[in-house]
Structure 1
Amino acid sequence: MNRTRTLAGLAALALLAAGCSSKAVKEDSVGSDGVRTGPGVTAGTITLGEMADLTGPFAANDTKITNAHQLYFSQLNEKGGVCGRKVRLDVVDHGYDVQKATTLYSDLARKVLGFSQVFGSGVNAALIDKYAGDKVLVYPASGAGPLLKSENILGAGSTYDYEIINALDAWLQEGTVKQGDTIAHVYLEGDYGGTAISGSRYMARKHGLKLTEVKIKPTDTDLTSQIAGIKNAGAKAILVSASPKQLGSVAVASESAGLRVPIVVNGAGWSGDLLEGASRKPVLDRVTVAQSWAVPSMKLPVVENFVAAYQKKYPNTKLDGNVTLGQSSAVVYAKVLQQACADKDLTREGVLKAVGQLKNVDTEGLLPPLDYSVKGHAPATESLLLRPDASVPGGVKAISETRHESKDIAGYTPDYAK
């Protein structure tokens, strides 16, 4: 009898757990407006998750991205939101800690329609299978190419390898580097650096450059010894695919070593904070930034209006290209939601389906035209080339406001796609 009671109790607990689980993740339904809705969507609200790095190695960048997301969606809400619903962001800080991010995701995923940000290549790589199981659309705040293999990832612009290819192509055209030269690439382990190094390896093979690869970890902050090795290799230029602090270390260490060669960095590795302290002079003298999204100094109405609003709302936050990156990615995610609304389907599956319908997406110059119709590919391959300039808003200025696209891209197959 006791055994029977125990089994009955366990069965009751199982039913209770099942009931709690079903309440935790809302079932799909149809609202009074005829729109199918799923988790994170009510008659008046669309809730999106934001998993940010607000205290880790990329905090200088991601705080601005997150602030820009908050501002953009608040502006959108003032105009009526999406599908007659206000967009709400549920923000958590993972500090670029994969284990912490995994725990935070498990809780947040039950409450949101999708994720307007999960910051960091390593974090996204760890969670990619969970995205698929939960059928959520995620903007990864990362240009890592391998992530695009997943239908759950929403890219916004070019990936890191195309930024490197375009920057090297520009250097080759202007004679900064030439066939036979040695170039060094300092890159983070993981998908960020792995994507970027694919681009430099390709250009080195194609143009007879000697490539010195220097892989580093997110925790590496003093790169003096790596710069000594790069100098001994006779490098004529340095590529950096790492964090802003690591770019600062490369700039300062190379200056101290007398290695005053040009440096190019992916947009993810730039921060206006580098225009202060010891890094200021070498950064101003020798750094080029390659990225696909617009920067605050560009004379575009969509940029100027947003930057003015950002400075008013966040007067104590330094302005740089991460503000417009946040604006750009929020615009793209909103366009997906608007397409899903037009399809009368604000379920997770409906949002994923909406992405593939977006072709030649116009963001008023924030990004190149975007094409999401080809799965697994970057929606754009063009890059802006920028130079640090302390006199302009955001600290960088476009060398040309026309984006650069190397002809070599036509023959490029990424290492991660082979």
Structure 2
Amino acid sequence: MPSRTLRMAAALSVATLAITTVAACSSKAETSAEDSGGMPTGPGVDASSINLGLLTDITGPFAAIDKQQNLGVKLYWDAKNAAGGVCDGRKVNLVTRDHGYDPQKAVSLYSDMAQQVLALQITVGSPTTLAVLPKLEQDKVLAVSMGWSPSVKDSESIIIPGTTYDIEMVNAVGYLIEENKLAKGDKIGYIYLKGDYGEPGLAGATFAAEANGMSVVGQQIDPTVSDLSGQVKKMADAGVKALFVSASGRQVSSAAAVADVEGLDVPIVAAAPGFSPESLTTGAGTAMEKNMLVVGSAAPFAGEGAGPEQVRNLYAKSGEKSITPSLWVTLGYAAASVMDQAITQACENKDLSREGLSKAFRQKGSYDTQQTTVPLDFSKPGVSPSTETFILKPSKGAEGGLELVKSGYTGPDTAKYQAR
């Protein structure tokens, strides 16, 4: 997700996730301790519990979807704790901080929580994750990045739970070609946020377009822009045959609504962070149902398989009414599952230090998320953990707002893109 502009602001705690409060400690690097059985343990670990951090955005441009994915994390760990916990019965507590999508605030908040947690269960946003990355690497902290930027795939601290943004858009172009929605000589419009969310998507789409005799008309936007009338009109005037958008939910909704008004009756492809089910209740809802596809690494909330079914069951049992079900709930659940599997491997290795957790994560390699995500293989550092993409379609009739069009899709140009 976008821009690297730095600003300072105050930290906000999140009460809605029923977070266990943990006393603040020094942010200085701390060496591993040992439990009573002699097993090395890291910060945030004692004989009865493990603390995991959520460095998230619940007041910024991606607040709606991040509240949903935070709920997915909570549903997973509540169920795990009720079933006996992890690693000799330890219960997992969640320590949540809201950076509002501000990179400098993210750095400050991470420093405050660093010695309270073993790992980051979630770090939201590509620019915010990049901002804290040097500290994560210095502290040897493992973190699940809810920003699929290829810029972080080389880091030993980062878990990317899916296919990187650039490969998703290579796949999206390939899919539209296969469906006869794009052809040689066509122009693709691309509206994108500056930075490590929008720019990788643009790069992927441009590669696939040029490989097939097409061109891309790019239009960069700022996170604060809410009305995309001017940008979409330029795309219509340019005669684009498809419109790609890597932006926030409000911006994606605006693009769909304006395209409808302008008579730009072409496929609209949105990166998953740009879709929130609430947008279907706005004036853009009908246009989104008609022309939009959403590409991402998570199964829809209404998806098939044991994982999505379990997510729906846990959501129903929770009685949660204030947070809308979506693929982001599914993705939060999947992220927690990956961390659980890594912790379990570390426990089997008898090393719950930060270094031990990172080693266990890489050792395990492939992760089973029970069809909540694309297949994940972390055995090759520096490579996208997957090349597959879910192709989804907005639908007011689908629980969670998205229905499955195609799962496990990899475009014909993806291998060439990776090998370039």
TM-score normalised by structure 2 residue count: 0.91
* 1:44 equivalent among 45, 48, 64: 48
After TM superposition, the structure 1 = structure 2 runs for residues 147-226 of structure 1, keeping only pairs within 5 Å, are: 147-226=152-231
After TM superposition, the structure 1 = structure 2 runs for residues 5-404 of structure 1, keeping only pairs within 5 Å, are: 26-84=30-88, 85-313=90-318, 314-400=320-406, 402-404=407-409
C-alpha distance in 1 between matches for 2:143 and 2:26: 23
Once the two structures are superposed, what CA deviation does each residue of 1:366-399 show, in whole Å capped at 9, x if it has no partner?
Answer: 1232211111111111011111111121111101
TM-score normalised by structure 1 residue count: 0.91
Larger radius of gyration: 1
C-alpha distance in 2 between matches for 1:23 and 1:101: 14
Give SS of 2:260's match.
helix
Q: Tell me if the contact between 1:26 and 1:40 (Cα under 8 Å) persists in the aligned partners.
A: no
Tell me: CA distance 1:278–1:118, structure 2 relative to 1, closer, same or farther (3 Å).
same
User: Structure 1 residues 386-395 or 363-372, which shifts more?
Assistant: 363-372
* Unaligned segments of structure 1, at least 5 residues: 1-19
C-alpha distance in 1 between matches for 2:79 and 2:211: 46
C-alpha distance in 1 between matches for 2:366 and 2:358: 18
C-alpha distance in 1 between matches for 2:335 and 2:158: 12
Q: Tell me if the contact between 1:25 and 1:111 (Cα under 8 Å) persists in the aligned partners.
A: no
C-alpha distance in 2 between matches for 1:411 and 1:267: 24
Give SS of 1:356's match.
helix
C-alpha distance in 2 between matches for 1:383 and 1:413: 15
C-alpha distance in 2 between matches for 1:369 and 1:403: 8
What one-letter code is carried by the residue in structure 2 that aligns with 1:66?
Answer: N
Task: Please report how far the alpha carbon of residue 321 of structure 1 lies from its aligned counterpart in structure 2 after TM superposition.
Answer: 0.9
Q: Which residue in the other structure is 1:408 paired with?
A: 413
What one-letter code is carried by the residue in structure 2 that aligns with 1:39?
Answer: P
- Between the two proteins, the alignment pairs up a number of residues equal to 395
Task: Please report how far the alpha carbon of residue 22 of structure 1 lies from its aligned counterpart in structure 2 after TM superposition.
Answer: 7.2
Between the aligned residues of both structures, percent identity stands at: 36
C-alpha distance in 2 between matches for 1:217 and 1:355: 36
C-alpha distance in 2 between matches for 1:404 and 1:390: 24
C-alpha distance in 2 between matches for 1:373 and 1:413: 16
Give SS of 1:273's match.
helix
Tell me: CA distance 1:209–1:35, structure 2 relative to 1, closer, same or farther (3 Å).
same
Over aligned residues, Cα RMSD in angstroms? 1.7
C-alpha distance in 2 between matches for 1:129 and 1:162: 25
Q: Which residue in the other structure is 1:14 paired with?
A: none
Task: Please report how far the alpha carbon of residue 33 of structure 1 lies from its aligned counterpart in structure 2 after TM superposition.
Answer: 3.3
Task: Please report how far the alpha carbon of residue 266 of structure 1 lies from its aligned counterpart in structure 2 after TM superposition.
Answer: 1.1
